């Protein structure tokens, strides 16, 4: 059979991690994370990142692999995920991806639609290299990193070549992958699954998860990160509300209630995304692991 990429997606608190681990153990394979909040090594309790015991010995990739102080883009993730899958599929027939960040799994499945932001420093650096080494250097660099664009472009137009090299350098991806409007065919068959909860039950799970996070020490985790509160990685549910409490703007009870409300809203947005953007996703009852495995085993 073809190599199979299994995507376990859906809203927060729906049981994605537990299901992914069960599938991984059944097929003796590994898991790649696409929950953007769980990329950061410093964010644990507030992102519901699974601990070593919860992972049950199943290797997970792109989980806690970067720092909140490091710049990390959707394009960066697409490159890392593609490389990770390539390595895993060398020895595995199936690989699982699990998460709730729709934009990140979209970047892998469909390519990155938006051009990355180019820093003034990078732009100036490449401009100076072009002035020092000339058009031939520029042509060689673009050709080396993106033969498709090189073969279809005006290779005498240094402005266009510089723009292409800026995007290549900033994103780590070929310029042509952006210009194709998301054409990024993966060499694997893909099956997408999710767990479908009654909306009220899902919201109750969100509230209980927040209470559990507080019991596990979320306030201390946030307090320890206070000096970094203005970083983009920390402008997220569970952290911004407790920063407001630490700033004396709201009470702790108000902060917890706000986290619960924002978590429910986040779950609602995630569910809407996966229902609208992933039309091939198969939805299963929360406890129907047998049905999930039967679906994945079918040709």
Look at residue 113 in the predicted model and tell me its pLDDT: 57
Distance in angstroms (rounded) separating the CA atoms of residues 174 and 182:
12
296 neighbors 189 (Cβ within 8 angstroms): no
Q: What is the DSSP string of 99-154?
A: -S-HHHHHHHHH---SPPPPPHHHHHHHHHHHHHHHHHHHHHHHHHH-HHHHHHS-
**Cα Rg, the chain, nearest whole Å:** 22
> 225 is written with which tokens?
């990160």
Distance in angstroms (rounded) separating the CA atoms of residues 115 and 117:
7
Which residue, chain included where needed, has tokens 């883009």?
73
Displacement of CA 247 from its chain's centroid (Å)? 30
Look at residue 181 in the predicted model and tell me its pLDDT: 47
245 neighbors 255 (Cβ within 8 angstroms): yes
> pLDDT tens for residues 108-167?
888 765 667 788 888 999 999 999 999 999 999 999 988 877 877 777 788 889 988 998
φ/ψ of residue 172, rounded to 5 = 75, 10
Distance in angstroms (rounded) separating the CA atoms of residues 191 and 295:
9
Which percentage of the chain shows pLDDT scores above 70?
94
Distance in angstroms (rounded) separating the CA atoms of residues 83 and 77:
10
pLDDT of the chain, 299 residues: tens digit per residue: 689 999 999 999 999 999 999 999 999 999 999 999 999 999 999 999 998 888 888 999 999 999 999 988 888 899 899 999 999 999 999 999 999 999 899 888 887 656 677 888 889 999 999 999 999 999 999 999 888 778 777 777 888 899 889 988 887 778 877 655 444 568 899 999 999 999 999 999 999 999 999 999 999 999 999 999 999 899 999 999 999 999 999 999 999 999 999 999 999 999 999 999 888 999 999 999 999 999 999 86
CA atoms within 13 A on the CB side of 292: 27
Distance in angstroms (rounded) separating the CA atoms of residues 245 and 190:
44
Among 106, 81, 99, which Cα is nearest to 16's? 99
Whole-structure pTM value: 0.77
Among 221, 215, 208, which Cα is nearest to 47's? 221
Distance in angstroms (rounded) separating the CA atoms of residues 112 and 68:
22
Domains of the chain: 4-113+183-297 (3.40.50.300), 120-179 (1.10.20.140)
**C-alpha separations of 235 from 76, 102, 232, 257 in Å:** 19, 18, 5, 17
The pairing of beta strand 4-8 with beta strand 282-284: unpaired
């Amino acid at each position: 059979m073809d190599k199979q990429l299994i995507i376990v997606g859906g809203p927060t608190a729906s049981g994605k991690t537990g299901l992914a681990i069960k599938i991984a153990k059944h097929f003796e394979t590994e898991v790649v994370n696409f929950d953007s909040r769980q990329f950061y090594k410093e964010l644990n309790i507030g992102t519901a990142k699974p601990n070593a015991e919860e992972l049950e010995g199943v290797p997970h990739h792109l989980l806690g692999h970067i720092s909140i102080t490091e710049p990390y883009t959707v394009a960066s993730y697409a490159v890392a995920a593609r490389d990770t899958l390539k390595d895993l599929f060398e020895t595995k027939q199936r690989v699982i991806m699990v998460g709730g960040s729709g934009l990140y799994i979209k970047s892998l499945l469909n390519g990155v639609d938006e051009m990355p932001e180019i820093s003034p420093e990078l732009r100036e650096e490449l401009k100076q290299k072009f002035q020092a080494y000339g058009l031939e250097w520029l042509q060689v660099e673009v050709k080396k990193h993106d033969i498709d664009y090189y073969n279809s472009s005006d290779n005498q137009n240094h402005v266009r070549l510089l723009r292409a090299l800026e995007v290549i350098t900033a994103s780590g991806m070929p310029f042509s992958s952006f210009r194709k409007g998301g054409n990024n065919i993966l060499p694997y068959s893909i099956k997408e699954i999710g767990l479908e909860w009654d909306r009220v039950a899902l919201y109750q799970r969100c509230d209980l998860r927040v209470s559990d996070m507080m019991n596990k020490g979320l306030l201390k985790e946030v307090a320890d990160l206070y000096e970094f509160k203005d970083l983009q990685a920390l402008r997220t549910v569970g952290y911004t509300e407790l920063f407001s409490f630490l700033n004396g703007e709201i009470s702790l009870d108000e902060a917890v209630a706000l986290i619960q409300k924002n978590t429910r809203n986040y779950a609602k947005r995630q569910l809407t995304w996966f229902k609208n953007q992933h039309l091939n996703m198969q939805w299963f009852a929360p406890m129907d692991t047998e049905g999930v495995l039967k679906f994945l085993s079918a040709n």
